């Protein structure tokens, strides 16, 4: 990373893309398994966004390694946070005695 930051960013971008694809598949699977919760739509949405972001990165790779790290990680964290806040609110609503 110190000697060749450009090559490092390209490799890190590919790793992020593969991670986003894996996380997207996991979230979609989790949403399908938890269809009885009111928040399954948010999990499905977050999974689809993660999957699409990973595919977009791979489609533009290696050029995408120059700009994508900051932008897509920020978007991924935003959707991840919203999905889990909605999951927590749904769990709290479904089990009122646990608050």
Residue 24, pLDDT score: 92
Separation of alpha carbons 44 and 6, rounded Å: 34
Parent domain of 53: 5-98
Helix 5-33 crosses helix 68-94 at what angle (to 10 degrees)? 20
pLDDT digits (tens, 9 = 90+) for 47-99: 998 899 889 888 887 777 777 777 877 888 898 899 889 888 887 776 666 55
Report yes or no: 91 and 99 within 8 Å, Cβ to Cβ: no
* Domain count within the chain: 1
What is the DSSP annotation of 52-66?
A: HHHHHHHHHTTGGGG
Q: Look up the pTM and report it.
A: 0.64
């Amino acid at each position: 990373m110190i000697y060749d930051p450009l090559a490092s960013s390209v490799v890190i971008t590919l790793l992020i893309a593969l991670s986003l694809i894996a996380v997207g598949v996991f979230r979609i699977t989790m949403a399908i398994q938890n269809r009885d919760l009111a928040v399954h739509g948010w999990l499905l949405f977050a999974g689809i966004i993660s999957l699409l972001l990973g595919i977009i990165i791979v489609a533009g790779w290696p050029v995408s390694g120059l700009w994508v790290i900051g932008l897509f990680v920020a978007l991924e964290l935003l959707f991840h946070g919203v999905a889990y806040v909605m999951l927590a609110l749904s769990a709290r609503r479904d089990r009122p005695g646990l608050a």
